[in-house]
Structure 1
Amino acid sequence: MNGPVTVEELAILMKARAGLTVDPALLAEAPDVPFEEYGLDSLGLLGIVAELENRYGHAIDNEPERCKTPTDFLTLVNAQLTTGA
């Protein structure tokens, strides 16, 4: 997954903002496994979004907490961060 936010960064954020330890390699191998299976809920995802907004200085719209998989989330977030949408 190319973009400002990588699978590895997402795994780190899942640990830092939601307290979930996820192996980045596992996340990369199965990016379409629902967040639910990792134990990440919408509140945890909102914490990740807040961190990304602070880090990149850009609001992330379109309800990213509704994304169900890492692929969905990274596609949405990276599109907004790279286009400035």
Structure 2
Amino acid sequence: MTTEVTQLTYDELAALMKKGAGVTVEPSDLESRADAPFADFGLDSLGLLGIVGELENRHGRALPTDAERCKSPRAFLDLVNGTLTTGA
């Protein structure tokens, strides 16, 4: 299976939060408060785990186990995008 390497954006993260956890948040709010804990946006660890699973399915590769323990949008995007870029 061929997967295109792309960068996960705040827009896509907001869409994944809505789809995977039923949490509605504006992408601009995620970006402006990128270091705020996910809990401030209403996303719990189970919701984040669902997002990790969706991304793994979408890209056909496992994300690091640290992904589900990321505490903020910025930390999550940095980890995911670093993984997608390096293929690690």
Is structure 2 residue 80 aligned with structure 1 residue 74? Answer: no
Matches within 5 A, 1:34-49: 34-49=37-52
Query: What TM-score do you get using the length of structure 2 for normalisation?
Result: 0.89
Runs ≥4 residues deviating over 3 A: none
Structure of greater Rg: 2
Q: Give the 3-state SS of the residue equivalent to 2:65 in structure 1.
A: coil
| Alignment correspondent of 1:7 | 10
Aligned residue in 2 for 1:16: 19
CA RMSD, 1 decimal: 1.0
Report the TM-score, using the length of structure 1 for normalisation: 0.92
Q: Which digits, 9 at most, give the CA deviation of each residue in 1:41-85, with x for residues without a partner? A: 111001000110111111101321111000000111111111010
Q: Number of aligned pairs?
A: 83
Give how far 1:8 is off.
Answer: 0.6
1:18-40 per-residue CA deviation (whole Å, 9 max, x = no partner) reads 00000111111111111011111
Q: CA deviation at 1:12?
A: 0.3
In 1, distance between residues paired with 2:76 and 2:16?
A: 13
Report the identity percentage.
Answer: 59
Structure 2 unaligned residues grouped into runs of 5+:
1-5
- Give ranges in structure 1 of 5+ residues lacking alignment: none
